[in-house]
Structure 1
Amino acid sequence: MSGQFLYGANIFANGIRQHYLRYGGKGTPVVLVPGITSPAITWGFVAERLAENHDVYVLDVRGRGLSSTGPDLDYGLDSMASDVVHFAEALKLNAPALLGHSMGARIAIRASNMKPAAFSRLVLVDPPVSGPGRRPYPSKLPWYVDSIRLSLKGIDAEGMKAFCPTWTEEQLKLRAEWLHTCYEPAIVTAFEDFHKDDIFPDLPKLSVPAMLMVAGRGGVIEQADIDEALALNPAIEIARVENAGHMIPWDDFDGFFAALGDFLSR
């Protein structure tokens, strides 16, 4: 932790302990919601840059990192979205922007529709668009489960390279250190919900400015999906990062911020 990092903390909201990391502390508040197996700390390198102009809160989604976990919790999309709504309320954040990646983008969409006045704008980074009757999400469940089970026994960066071959040594070390905090049933539920809970019907209901950021090499969002999203909500702004896979800031850090531009500050 360095640079813009301020502190890590816990708050009781929506009936659970929610852990978060805060960066910057000045400017427009931004709540960053990571993806399916990304504890908050793994987004620190992005939060550092965002915090140059924003007050950034990076969440540990339930069942991940240092937030509440275990067999008694509901890990469905609605519960995770409700967590974000209550998190912002509990910290008395004034209409923060939501920036969500992958699963986190789906959470951001649902949270914004739960309480539209609570958030000012959305950045939706390569959300899964699979669902009933749609093509499946390109990643497969064993990729997640196998790596989590290895991490529970202890895995190093070299072992993690088999799952994330393009990542830097620093990124691999961080994932190897923290992946064991991802509770397998939470990850399985979220992955299955990618295919059970269609996010497209939520798009026409969005009442705040929204950006859909698409990975050019991710295989998650195709042109037909973009066309459908725009037909449902023509106000959505499309940004592309052509040289990145699904983990956009990992693959093209500068491209991620170039695509984001001044959207969070408008």
Structure 2
Amino acid sequence: MTISSSTFLHGGNVRANGIRQHYLRYGGKGRPVVLVPGITSPAVTWGFVAETLARHFDTYVLDVRGRGLSESSDALDYGLDACAADVGAFAEKLDLDGYALVGHSMGARIGIRTARRHPRGLERMVLIDPPVSGPGRRAYPAQLDWYIDSIRLMREGAGFEALRPFSPTWTEAQLRLRSEWLHTCDERAIVATYDGFHQDDIHADLKQLDLPTLLMVAGRGDVIRAADLEEMQQLMPAMQVAHVPNAGHMIPWDDEPGFYRAFGDFLGVAIQGDDHARQ
């Protein structure tokens, strides 16, 4: 995408829920959409998705606390409740009435907790391949060391090629962007989130929700299996489900056109996107 056709407007910071939250804004018109990335994905790494969503929506991409340019410290609570409160406070601070939350992985779990505990202004939600681990459940398939080792390599100044063993199917452009920003992920935040994958019960939240929800499932991710999907549909019978069969957990990186197709018209308009992620 050329600079002249970019939908990027600006970055910014707000003080909400007692911390400085950094965000990127794209588009500026239409339904507000708040995009909440995954465990080691600063906001900028989802810019290519925001560029496309912003053709139709006023799109905000959050740096979750402890990632990117948002606040981090050894005094912060990095748990799911705190992150969900951040989203609710962010939306309230910017007066995002009737917004849609689009969350990937960790961001989807944050979305679920936000919808239950901080629903003000939240109208609908897209859950992109959320980890379904929790107390007494099957463990999340990725190992904590995968995240921590890659962060430490980037913090020490290793080049993008050092990330290739971690993400062997990614393009050079994808690896370069990840290598540039991965060092901003606070290890304390990553450990707390990973532990929360196994300690927080999002299924108890799901059965309390009644807002329109779309669940997007990666066909090759092994995060959501058939039995998991069946249980989630029992908890939220009205939930819509879309499959992206040729993608792993990082869906828009693996199959960007399929990712956009999976939205259908759930957000009010069909999303048409170019394949940026594989470039």
TM-score range for the pair, normalised by the shorter chain length: over 0.9
Deviation at 1:155, TM superposition (A): 2.1
Residue of structure 1 in register with 2:275 after alignment? none
Secondary structure of the structure 1 residue equivalent to 2:11: strand
Task: Report how far residue 207 of structure 1 moved.
Answer: 2.2
One of 49, 55, 58 as aligned partner of 1:55: 58
Q: Distance in 1 between matches of 2:242 and 2:131?
A: 16
Alignment of 1:228-243 (within 5 A): 228-243=231-246
Q: Distance in 2 between matches of 1:98 and 1:155?
A: 34
Matched to 2:30, the amino acid is G
CA distance in 1, matches of 2:42, 2:105: 13
Aligned to 2:194: 191
Matches of 2:253 and 2:196, distance apart in 1: 25
Give the whole-Å Cα distance in 1 for the aligned partners of 2:163 and 2:228. Answer: 32
Q: Which residue pairs with 1:33 in the alignment?
A: 36
Name the residue aligned to 2:75. Answer: 72
The letter for the 2-side match of 1:168 is T
State whether residues 103 and 127 of structure 1, in contact with CA within 8 Å, keep that contact through their aligned partners in structure 2: yes
Q: Are positions 1:8 and 2:21 aligned together?
A: no
Where 1:116 maps in the other structure, the secondary structure is coil
**1:116, distance to aligned residue in structure 2 (A):** 2.5
Aligned equivalent of 2:255, options 239, 252, 256: 252
Following TM superposition, the consecutive aligned residue runs of length 4 or more in structure 1 with deviations greater than 6 angstroms are none
Give the % identical residues.
Answer: 63
2:138 — aligned with what?
135
- 1:116–1:208 Cα contact (<8 Å) kept: no
Q: Look up the equivalent residue of 1:102 and give its one-letter code.
A: S
Residue 213 (structure 1) aligns with: 216
Q: In the alignment, what sits opposite 2:88?
A: 85
Per-residue CA distance 1:81-118 (angstroms, 9 max, x = gap): 00000000001111210000000000001001113242
1:100–1:108 Cα contact (<8 Å) kept: yes
Normalising by the residue count of structure 2, what TM-score does the alignment of the two structures yield?
0.94
Q: Deviation digits for residues 195-229 of structure 1, max 9, x if unmatched?
A: 01121111111121001100000000001011101
In 1, Cα distance between equivalents of 2:149 and 2:126? 30
CA distance in 2: counterparts of 1:188 and 1:107, whole angstroms: 16
Provide the C-alpha distance between the structure 2 equivalents of 1:163 and 1:199, rounded to a whole number of angstroms.
28
For the 8 Å contact 1:116–1:206, the answer to whether it is kept is no
CA-atom RMSD in angstroms: 1.0
Matched residues in 2 for 1:151 and 1:63: separation? 16
Offset, 1:141: 0.3
Asked if the contact 1:31–1:56 (Cα under 8 Å) also holds between the matched residues in 2, the reply is: yes
Give secondary structure in 2 for the equivalent of 1:190.
helix
The corresponding residue for 1:160 is 163
* 1:162 partner letter: P
Q: Which moved more, 1:256-265 or 1:79-88?
A: 256-265
Provide the TM-score with structure 1 as the length reference. Answer: 0.98
**Are 2:17 and 2:89, in contact at CA under 8 Å, matched by a contact in 1?**
yes
1:46 matched residue in structure 2: 49
Which residue identity is paired with 1:251?
A: D
Which letter maps to 1:46? V
Q: Secondary structure at the match of 1:10?
A: strand
Instruction: Tell me if structure 1 keeps the 8 A contact 2:21–2:62.
Output: yes
Q: How many angstroms does 1:264 deviate by?
A: 1.1
In structure 2, how many angstroms separate the alpha carbons of the residues matched to 1:253 and 1:33? 17
